[in-house]
Structure 1
């Protein structure tokens, strides 16, 4: 895997971000613009280009960042690289998403009470407000029935309502195996590492108790990798630096 570091929490540059693996590539940008979406656009364009190029060279990129929003760029790059491929049955570049997260990440600008943009990326991958990010990246919406949310347990009422009415499947890490993966063809495997039990992993920004251990997450990830379908991986290193979280997950995950 080619390890790519995007050392940001949304548009906040975090040069000292603790990550579990030494990156081969680090992507940074001078972020300018009148709003957060304008500031993120050139950074995400660079990430999408790097992901697409690595996949086209036969790689499986692993993108590490301080948030989950960078997933928009990773999926855009994966779609671009796989478009026209016929051998996997998805020649239009369609991908599936396996999303490990203690949170739903399916808020919208209209439903959020905190205004935190990091609570929206999965909803955006499913097609919400494409003018914000997707259109600029050439990102096509991922069909809801191609998305699996793993161990999402801290859900606000609007998220529960949306998920109940959607075709997104919710499973526990222990249930995740080849049969639970949606669709066919390439998978974007996303891990917000706060999916790990908040009582086990130190320093998380938004810890949630009652989740799987790091070892159990690692075992579930291995089962997904063993299908041979993973085209790109995203790691949301959503913690405060200096608490040892990166080392704890680095030894548990099979990357």
Structure 2
């Protein structure tokens, strides 16, 4: 199985060492020549290349692992599986809701809109240029999302998008058909994973998250594993060691 590395946070190329990988295994790194100008065409160019790479490595006996520095890369993963002839739903592990829009976000941080964009909000920004078939609210499950802004909580209170604590995630609450398993590592408690860009306290343990992810994979319906690592540069060797071990455990899930 191929590991696809996308060393970007939005349109910023990260140093290779920002995503520490185990030494063994087949790895493909996505690099793209991004156009000058505003961020949306730059992201479209990058995610189109991600989608092409994912499509090339997706099939009945091939489940790619996509590792990046940003949840927005999941749009490229979704498009890639769609181009490979699939119609996947998504299971979205995250400390945050990621269901903001350009109108509701107070920070303007695009990563906080990733799931919303995947479900077709602001289609002219990414969905239409990429050829993304937006996911319906019934095709997404939000896991944890303990740190919600008021606008996100309001949206979820009336949405058909379901949200579950990590411990409550089971095959019974998952959408049918093919699945993409998306894990933003900041879902893990900050006591075990320091240095994330947007820390949210009181999260589940790493072992709890891994166990829930295994329950999803045991359905046999996961067609891609998408891992987002939105963390700051490592402060010391201990950070590097923790991150390397976590990525190794996440890759081993498949």
TM-score (norm 1): 0.91
TM-fit CA distance, 1:174: 1.0
SS in 1 for 2:71: coil
**Aligned match of 1:247 in 220, 244, 248?**
244
CA RMSD of aligned residues (A): 1.5
In the alignment, structure 1 residue 67 sits paired with structure 2 residue 70: yes
TM-fit CA distance, 1:205: 1.0
* Distance 1:206-1:81 versus aligned 2 partners, 3 A rule: same
TM-fit CA distance, 1:124: 0.6
SS in 2 for 1:101: strand
Tell me the alpha carbon deviations over residues 194-217 of structure 1, each in whole angstroms, 9 at most, x when there is no partner: 000122212111111111111111
In the alignment, structure 1 residue 226 sits paired with structure 2 residue 227: no
Greater share of helix residues, 1 or 2? 2
Tell me the alpha carbon deviations over residues 38-89 of structure 1, each in whole angstroms, 9 at most, x when there is no partner: 111121111101111111473111111100001111001111212xxxxxxx
**Aligned match of 1:178 in 166, 171, 194?**
171
In the alignment, structure 1 residue 237 sits paired with structure 2 residue 229: yes
Tell me the alpha carbon deviations over residues 167-215 of structure 1, each in whole angstroms, 9 at most, x when there is no partner: 0111111111211211x21101100000001222121111111111111
Tell me the alpha carbon deviations over residues 93-121 of structure 1, each in whole angstroms, 9 at most, x when there is no partner: 42211000000001111111111111001
Matches within 5 A, 1:70-149: 70-82=73-85, 93-149=86-142
SS in 2 for 1:246: helix
TM-fit CA distance, 1:146: 1.5
The 2-side partners of 1:158 and 1:173 are apart by: 22
Matches within 5 A, 1:7-18: 7-16=7-16, 17-18=18-19
Asked if structure 2 preserves the Cα contact closer than 8 Å seen for 1:97 and 1:187, the reply is yes
Partner of 1:32: 35
* Distance 1:137-1:21 versus aligned 2 partners, 3 A rule: farther
Asked if structure 1 preserves the Cα contact closer than 8 Å seen for 2:22 and 2:248, the reply is no
TM-score (norm 2): 0.91
Asked if structure 1 preserves the Cα contact closer than 8 Å seen for 2:19 and 2:68, the reply is no
* Distance 1:20-1:99 versus aligned 2 partners, 3 A rule: farther
Asked if structure 2 preserves the Cα contact closer than 8 Å seen for 1:193 and 1:236, the reply is yes
SS in 2 for 1:99: strand
In the alignment, structure 1 residue 6 sits paired with structure 2 residue 36: no
Partner of 2:209: 217
SS in 2 for 1:70: helix
